[in-house]
Structure 1
């Protein structure tokens, strides 16, 4: 039979009396026989309940049926496999390649009574798995299931912790190891292939079994794409060619810390003056309360009416110009909802721009002692209107950036303009929100000059989100929700194709008697100096937290660490440019550059910043020394100048000198050596 695509030679399908196997570039991808089928279908009813972005998700599953019989037919595009069980239950799998040579599996469940699919991909027991979006508790995902649903990340995120138990008791907000703002149906195997599923339905990727990965999809069709490479760096280049890449950051991002300040124009000026006079390098002021404040029992909340509050911030327009002339940018805050008691919501409602409830009225979401309307971004007119809000109220005001918050709250029982089920649109919503911000910059000619940072994401965020931040960590030392959790979050996101990541210095969530300590803030500052962006946050209860200006010693610490950060500017800028050009993340797992070192595949709390800096943040309280692993190379201790060849090492790690090593052969060696004198 004549084949239409020359890339099909990379795919081999072999048959036996009991089934078939599919190989792609010598990797076994699918294996099916009557005793161990690769495909199931079933019927379920989703039971999804949302409370303030926290979701309780259950499946009322009526049946799960193995499709053990398979008939393979060749066709010009590849192969068509008919799966069946009995006379009425059927599904098809089309196997082919696309124009870029990727293996494509198109699954279609032809029985309309069934709305669930389970597909088992072949695996080896020794495989490691990475990706699935931003994962805070695990980097190597092997051995566990990972449900993929954008939501609040959860408070505590460990069902064995007291904090998580308290959050669950209060409002089901404790979360679990897999809760994440940014899930994505993409994983990378150490067989050096990636798998990406083109769907936004609820999914569960289960990597528990030794010889297969089971992908569960709450839909009756799906497209899977696979690609292989000889190295992980080349594989990420291929993945990001499919998904898109982030543009380079504005140059001002590397010029210091972005100070999270609330309280008005005069407070911003006073704090800015205090820090700059003490030698702190400041690139911007991020005032999330620029649109006003609402006080709740949770703490200080932003007024969700995306206009400059001139009462709280008098003369802000002229002050923004002054600050910009001094090299200090002004950043604001926005999210895709509008407070029900304010005029933007009234305008959106009058124009018919809000998502609807079952009765056809405007759907209002309870956000914690206030309600918000959901701007229906699937409505082209509403989408354009909201872009104009960004352009007029933020870009024209002179903002150099903003936090584009939320995106994960879309209720599944709302009704949207495009007619697509909100259950299907839920995961896609953060990327649509990112695209709205991206186009606002693009259409004003400000892309590359302005930036925004997001916590929620999905497939498409790679192309449309200029920067991610890790969300709302606790102001504590917990592994699952404190400083430590940011490292696997950045690494997993990098393996999913989004290579720009940072976090709130000191964390955000201050509940259940948590209080940010001075030590935690300083350790987080140390860590953030070796990321693509430094930015502080007061937290939801500022008075309970140690702040960047709480005493002279803290200010001096920020002065030193921001000087280190700005000194690294040319190195960071090169790493960010690599991410924009090839998809190679800025914060990298060690195995990207040390593939032959088996130990690097299990490390989740240390990383490479670019190729030449190895960083191992101190994430435990009261430590003055720290142990880490160095792959075999010539390494130089950043602070002592001592050299090491590799292996497990223990170093002194006082505040202000986090464990950092640089490659002796690096072209940046003179720059790194200069940091010892700061």
Structure 2
């Protein structure tokens, strides 16, 4: 670190006017400060990696509390900024001792924010962290001020460029790049429709904000990776509501609902390297067991006889089956929906087996394994429902036990459990993960009543409902609900890894999550893209599933999959929009060439949706798609064991990752993607189509269509044949490995197969 050289007036009442020579932060990083222009610049070995906008404040603050309205897990947030500071004065630049710095020091910049009543003090520290010497860590602190209209939130602004595009930020389903958008970071129900009409409007008319919008999501993560290979993320401790404003072509502004903000920024060599740098902090995802590679995970509800019948039928038809997912293992009940004449199938959140559907649960699970080598997956979430009205009874009412022990999040006004509604007749409490006794109690429940049946994992649902009311109370009274809300999904995932330490077969299990948060990936081995609608929609249908997995990959989540066929049955003026056989089949093709796990879902109204087991025709197409998935097992496994495990790279990769200078590739969300580096895929995502328009990105590259052998060239756009059963897949260049042999053999054997439905 350069010896301090400070240009200070005798009184801090007037601003400084000096320009500082570079401050050496360590490992080749240098900070330059121009106090007159309020300008900061950080370079690494002479290359600028981060800078503010000259002549403009890089920090601001505002008063007022954001307005949050919530119902049934739907949170609508209106940002409120009162008395926002309009000016900034740098008063001091100094070297300070700093724990965790590579050279034990940090550069500390202090000053005043002005134009907002009383001047408000701020400080910004920059240092090279000893644990991650390839990046800059920062810490921003703003004093609330002494006026009655005290600051409550801060803004950090820095330079971008018109050609820089932004990706990641969690499970985002509506846009390729977030340039020109403002992205809120808050985990919540994603809504039904999310902008697809008329679904969104009808849902929100029926229930508050139930349709959501383009940015409502189960998983919002405060990070991005840009097309310039710049990486920015907050720490897991900075978990308050945040928004990233990319609407200024020359700047990024991070608005944070708190007065202390910590994070990192870095310049990667390329976007894949950026993912590696991000996951050096967050951690890599936990390894997936190999049994998921070669068979389908069949979602079935209805009890032991139905499950046995469908499994036997599938095996007879030559469908590889890895597991059955029996989400109704704890029992079901019907939930009326005002806008449909049908009832929605919901689950009893009381984590014991249902004696009507599965009277010999443990023995049944073992028999599937012994007779057919088929594993069983269950379902768990952090809710505990009051089952006192369960028609066929129960052995233990976990809600009552947890209420007596105060193991669930409390309401300080009623001095009782904070009750969450998930629709008519489904009221529950949420496990308080700050309650040590409650965690231990829940651990014993799962070990005794869930894991004891020799299952191979479960859907680890929800995590985004944590209330943020003023009377929300945790066992740890120091917890602020507004800050803890975004952290809960990570703690929920970590809880299961802790419980898994007592399960001998845990490394052979899959636990799949839809809700996540910063650094939760280190506690997960699988996520899914959330609850899409059973349609062809852009924002919340089959297309959105691709976009979500693409952005999650750029958020550090390498192991993604989708629910084949979607989940949510919607309606329009013509009635119920059910899942067609064509949609189910095309979604199966998509999952086969995009996902790490091949899993179905019956949907929330199974009886109106085409199912893989509806008839021999649907099962035949599904079996074909499963074999297509299995043919890629060696290729996927090589990627998972090397690039994903060691580097954090995702299986599904948005085209921009390899072509950040290609303007067309930068705008591709769902139309095409890379599967690893050797395959390029352009799925059919519209009904009635037997061909697809494909853009081939980059320069000086060839793409060979696997079904026809025809070669296409980078920069070319072409219409490619894609009849049912033959998704448009291309080999990129001339890969020199044998991992694709099984896939290419499948293509050769099935090239004359005709799919009928």
What TM-score results when the alignment is normalised by the length of structure 2?
0.87
Which deviations, in whole Å up to 9, do the C-alpha atoms of 1:300-324 show, x marking residues without a partner? 1011001111221122212211222
Q: Which residue of 2 aligns with 1:478?
A: 537
What SS does structure 2 have at the residue aligned with 1:572?
helix
Contact 2:690 2:721 in 1 (8 A): yes
In the TM superposition, 1:220-299 aligns within 5 A as 220-298=259-337, 299=344
Match of 2:203 in 1: 167
Residues 333-342 or 180-189, more deviating: 333-342
Instruction: Answer yes or no: is 1:636 the counterpart of 2:700.
Output: no
Please tell me whether Structure 1 or Structure 2 has the larger radius of gyration of its CA atoms: 2
**d(CA) in 1 for partners of 2:84, 2:110:** 18
1:164-243 superposed matches below 5 A? 164-171=200-207, 172-198=209-235, 199-243=238-282
Q: 2:578 aligns with which of 511, 515, 521?
A: 515
Deviation of residue 397 (structure 1)?
0.9
Correspondence for 1:412: 468
Q: C-alpha displacement at 1:346, in angstroms? A: 0.8
Shift in alpha-carbon separation, 1:399–1:669, aligned structure 2, 3 A: closer
Distance in 1 (CA, whole Å) between partners of 2:708 and 2:431 is: 54
Alignment partner, residue 121 of structure 2: 90
Matched-pair contact (CA < 8 Å) for 2:227–2:660: no
Which whole-Å CA distance do the structure 1 matches of 2:276 and 2:669 have between them? Answer: 22
2:362–2:454: 8 Å Cα contact kept in structure 1? yes
> Partners in 1 of 2:628 and 2:85 — Cα distance?
59
Aligned: 1:500 with 2:533: no
Cα distance between partner residues in 2 of 1:125 and 1:616: 28
2:563 counterpart SS class: coil
Count of equivalent residues? 676
Match of 1:449 in 2: 508
For residues 68-103 of structure 1, give each alpha carbon's deviation from its aligned partner in whole angstroms, at most 9, with x where no partner exists.
Answer: 211241305232222314564111111222112221
- Cα displacement string for residues 549-585 of structure 1 (whole angstroms, at most 9, x for unaligned residues): 1122111111111111112111111122221221011
Quick one: distance in 1 between partners of 2:607 and 2:188? 28
- Structure 1: how far apart are the matches of 2:422 and 2:606? 20
CA contact (8 A) 1:499 1:584 kept: yes
| 1:652 match | 721
**C-alpha deviation, 1:60, in angstroms:** 3.9
User: What residue is the counterpart of 1:433 in the other structure?
Assistant: 492
Asked if 2 retains the 8 angstrom alpha-carbon contact of 1:91 and 1:111, the reply is no
- Contact 1:500/1:586 (<8 A) preserved: yes
Of residues 436-445 and 648-657 in structure 1, the stretch that sits farther from structure 2 once superposed is 436-445
Question: Please, what is the CA RMSD of the aligned residues?
Answer: 1.8
Deviation at 1:653, TM superposition (A): 1.0
Segments of 5+ residues of structure 2 without an aligned counterpart are: 5-22, 97-104, 338-343, 389-396, 751-757
Name the counterpart of 2:161: 124
The 8 Å contact of residues 41 and 67 in structure 1, kept in 2 or not, is answered as: no
341, 346, 350: which one aligns with 1:305: 350
Contact 1:265 1:312 in 2 (8 A): yes
Partner SS for 1:564: helix
- 2: CA distance, partners of 1:139 / 1:501: 17
Contact 1:402–1:451 (8 Å) recurs in 2: yes
Moved more, 76-85 or 570-579: 76-85
- SS, match of residue 64 in structure 1: coil
- More moved, 69-78 vs 1-10: 1-10
Contact 1:30/1:38 (<8 A) preserved: no
Q: Tell me the equivalent position of 1:588.
A: 653
Secondary structure of 1:258's counterpart equals strand
Alignment of 1:490-569 (within 5 A): 490-512=549-571, 513-530=576-593, 531-569=595-633
TM-score w.r.t. the length of structure 1 is 0.96
The runs of 5 or more residues in structure 1 that have no matched partner are none
Deviation at 1:32, TM superposition (A): 5.1
Q: Does 1:81 align with 2:71?
A: no
Q: Which residue of 1 aligns with 2:42?
A: 23
1:109 maps to 142
With over 3 angstroms needed to count, the CA separation of the structure-2 counterparts of 1:427 and 1:640, relative to structure 1, is same
Q: How far is 1:468 from its partner?
A: 0.8
Shift in CA distance, 28/151, structure 1 to aligned 2, threshold 3 Å: same
